[in-house]
Amino acid sequence: MARGMFITLEGGEGSGKTTQAALVAEALRAAGRRVMVTHEPGGTRAGEAIRAIFLDPALKLEVAAELLLALADRAQHVRERLQPALATGEIVISDRYCDSTVAYQGYGRGFDLKLLADLNRLASDGLRPDLTFVLDCSAEIGLARSRARRAAAAADRFEGERLEFHRRVRDGFLALARDEPDRVMVIDATAPRAAVTARIVAAITARMAS
């Protein structure tokens, strides 16, 4: 059976990835496709345990520990869920993947990008997305959206970071899109929700046809 298609959604806080993952999956299923939606960090039992540590604002994690947790989560996710689903021919949509490590730990925390490329290759077993959508908006808009959604709950470790950090993360995603234009497509995350879904579905459909 042909390998399924691997799609990732990326972007900063409050960019609407999670909502779009569900809407895109719904549209593709309505067109008769088999689709699995998953996310990082998390997506497996071990991954959800890692995620709880990764996001806990009460924990003062060293940046190297943070990086290695993201990679450990990915190593588990790729082998336990992504590869098996793709092997059955499913379309897999992951809410975050390797590019988040480049944007957050590379551009945000300052880790060497070459080192991250090597570590991502190890963690991902060389599995690369066919298509990646960066849902892009300013750091100010994204943070305001994610804080509104969270209401009274405490910000996680990343939402608590300064605006400057989130600006660097955004620059990182935009740099990735410039470096790999055939894979990474930037979508205006401030466009109406249905328009964002339609653009993503159209790009996936076009890629499947080609």
Residues that bind ligand TYD (CB under 6 A): 13, 17-18, 40-41, 55, 70, 96, 100-101, 104-105, 158
Q: Pick the closer one to ligand TYD by CB: 13 or 136.
A: 13
Q: Report the amino acid identity of residue 42.
A: G
- In angstroms, give the least distance from the CB of 3 to ligand TYD: 23
Q: Which residues pair with 91 in a beta bridge?
A: 35
Q: Pick the closer one to ligand TYD by CB: 19 or 83.
A: 19
Closest CA to 129 of 101, 107, 99: 99
Which CB contacts under 8 angstroms, 24+ apart, belong to 116-122? 116/67, 119/67, 119/71, 120/71, 120/74, 122/71, 122/75
- In angstroms, give the least distance from the CB of 31 to ligand TYD: 26
Q: Pick the closer one to ligand TYD by CB: 18 or 190.
A: 18
- In angstroms, give the least distance from the CB of 201 to ligand TYD: 20
Q: Residue 160 has what DSSP assignment?
A: T
- In angstroms, give the least distance from the CB of 158 to ligand TYD: 3
Q: Pick the closer one to ligand TYD by CB: 156 or 205.
A: 156
Closest CA to 12 of 134, 152, 193, 124: 134
